[in-house]
């Protein structure tokens, strides 16, 4: 290594080489397993979707629905009430900016045929048929909207170097499937596959968008005052090469430190070498660490939003002067925070500018 005109040589012993090889092999095994798990989750999701699409293809035809109206109009009315309850529950679970997607005036396909046939065959049931048609048109439109938003979030995650499949594989699948088991669209407890697909589409959209909201996107301190970047550098204490796993932001003691993204505070206290530390869990294996602080403004279990003050710059721990040491970790592996801080704001701004009803084009 050449440093300040001097050349230094490092000899790596066989034991160190073997240890490094073992660590590399273990990391490779962990990576392989994570990819395999993600692949299996993707396979299962694809298989489940194909099964659902197959069941959608077998929904009642217009003629069969007319027979149902003719056989027991009260039963049809009861099922429509169940369907409406399902729709209202799904709309309640939507993000605030998606709840405006509620106006549907047209119907098509089998639902429209049902309206025509019922109106001719059973005039007194025409109003119910129109309600059913509007429900199905709403479900179809909302499903397309949720799929569009999910795809938009997945594309944004890819731009940030995050695999959406890994994020989905970490989602709590019990929570995603639970509500569907409790809801039904008919008196016998069954669920129309078109409504089931809506629930799954909304769940996928929520998982990806929540993951995107947890991506570091706000500068924890002034970006122009970075004193040390991510990567190898000369250690300020020993002068030898060392890995620096974060960014150092210089600033006067007491300067506010901000949460880089939405999350839950998972640690507040001291850590060896880091001094006073706050750690925030953003979900999906993503965590940010804020070190060498002089004061805390947060507590464990507290929910924070991007840009919220969580503490102040200091010089506690292994530090040569007041600064913030900021780390981003994915599955406990340190990654370069600068990639997120410089890219995420632009990616998210593009999403905010995108027309909310682009799916209808």
Same domain, 150 and 86: yes
- List phi, psi (to 5°) of 49: -65, -40
Identify the pLDDT of residue 325: 92
Q: How many residues does the chain have?
A: 361
- Position 107 in a domain: yes
Are both 209 and 80 inside the same structural domain? yes
Domain that holds residue 297: 223-353
Nearest residue to 206 (alpha-carbon basis) of 270, 268, 129, 145 = 145
Do both 259 and 151 map to the same domain?
no
pLDDT at 317: 87
Same domain, 78 and 193: yes
**pLDDT score of 120:** 66
The whole-number mean pLDDT for each consecutive block of 10 residues of the chain, a chain of 361 residues, reads: 65 72 71 57 51 52 70 81 82 70 52 67 77 84 88 86 73 44 61 82 85 85 68 60 76 92 94 92 89 93 93 89 90 84 79 54 43
Using the 3D structure, point to which of 187, 213, 239 is the last residue of a domain: 213
Q: How far apart are the first and last CA of the chain?
A: 59
Contact 200, 140 (CB under 8 A): no
Handedness of CA 331, 332, 335, 340 (dihedral sign): positive
| In a shared domain, residues 235 and 275 | yes
> What does each C-alpha distance from 149 to 50, 131, 139, 282, 283 come to in angstroms?
21, 27, 15, 20, 20
Assess whether 292 and 333 both reside in one domain. yes
Coil/strand/helix, residue 303 = strand
> Helix, strand or coil for residue 283?
strand
pLDDT at residue 23, as a whole number? 75
Is the domain of 66 the same as that of 191? yes
Note whether 240 and 152 are same-domain residues.
no
**pLDDT for residue 256:** 93
Rounded CA-CA distance 51/44 in Å is 10
> Is residue 53, in this structure, part of any structural domain at all?
no
**Can you give the pLDDT at residue 238?**
60
Same domain, 76 and 199: yes
- Residue 164, pLDDT score: 82
User: Residue 230: how many CA atoms within 13 Å on its side-chain side?
Assistant: 15
By the 8 A CB rule, do 115 and 129 touch? yes
DSSP, res 12: P
Q: Is 320 part of a structural domain of the chain?
A: yes
Q: Give dist(CA 70, CA 34) in Å, integer.
A: 54
Q: Tell whether 79 is covered by a domain.
A: yes
Domain membership flag for residue 23: no
Ramachandran quadrant class, 163 (left: phi over 0; alpha: psi -120 to 50; beta: rest): beta
Assess whether 240 and 326 both reside in one domain.
yes
Phi, psi at 262, each rounded to 5°: -65, 145
Q: Does residue 32 sit within a domain?
A: no
Residue 50 has a pLDDT of 45
d(C-alpha 212, C-alpha 283), whole Å: 10
Domain boundary among 160, 181, 213: 213
DSSP 125-139: GHHHHHHHHHHHHHH
Alpha carbons 107 and 102: distance in angstroms, whole number: 14
Q: Which helix (H) or strand (E) holds 3?
A: strand 2-3
The domain boundary, picked from 159, 193, 213, lies at 213
Distance CA 327, CA 338 (A): 10
Of 244, 247, 242, 243, residue with least CA distance to 216: 247
């Amino acid at each position: 290594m050449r440093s300040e005109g001097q050349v230094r040589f490092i000899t790596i012993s066989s034991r160190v080489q073997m240890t490094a090889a073992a660590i590399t092999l273990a990391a490779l095994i962990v990576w392989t397993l994570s990819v395999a798990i993600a692949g299996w989750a993707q396979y299962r999701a694809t298989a489940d979707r194909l099964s659902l699409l197959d069941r959608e293809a077998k929904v009642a035809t217009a003629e069969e629905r007319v027979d149902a109206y003719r056989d027991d109009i009260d039963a049809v009315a009861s099922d429509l009430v169940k369907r409406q309850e399902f729709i209202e529950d799904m709309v309640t679970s939507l993000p605030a900016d998606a709840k405006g997607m509620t106006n549907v005036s047209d119907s098509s396909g089998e639902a429209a045929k049902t309206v025509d046939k019922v109106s001719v065959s059973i005039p007194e049931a025409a109003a119910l048929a129109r309600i059913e048609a509007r429900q199905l048109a709403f479900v179809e439109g909302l499903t397309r909207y949720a799929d569009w938003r999910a795809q938009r979030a997945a594309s944004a995650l890819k731009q940030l170097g995050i695999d959406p499949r890994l994020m989905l594989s970490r989602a709590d699948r019990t929570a995603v499937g639970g509500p569907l088991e409790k809801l039904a669209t008919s008196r016998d407890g069954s669920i129309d596959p078109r409504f089931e697909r809506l629930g799954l589409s909304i769940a996928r959209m929520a998982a990806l968008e929540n993951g995107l909201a947890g991506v570091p996107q706000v500068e924890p301190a002034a970006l122009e005052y970075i004193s040390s970047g991510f990567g190898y550098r000369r250690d300020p204490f020993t002068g030898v090469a060392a890995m620096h796993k974060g960014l150092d932001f210089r600033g006067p003691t007491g300067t506010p430190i901000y949460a880089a993204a939405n999350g839950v505070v998972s640690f507040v206290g001291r850590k060896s070498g880091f001094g006073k530390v706050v750690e925030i869990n953003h979900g999906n294996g993503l965590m940010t660490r804020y070190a060498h602080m002089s004061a805390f403004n947060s507590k464990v279990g507290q929910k924070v939003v991007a840009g919220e003050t969580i503490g102040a710059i200091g010089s506690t721990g292994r530090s040569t002067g007041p600064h913030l040491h900021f780390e981003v970790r994915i599955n406990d592996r340190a990654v370069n925070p600068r990639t997120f801080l410089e890219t995420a704001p632009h990616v998210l701004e593009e999403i905010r500018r995108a027309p909310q009803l682009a799916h209808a084009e």
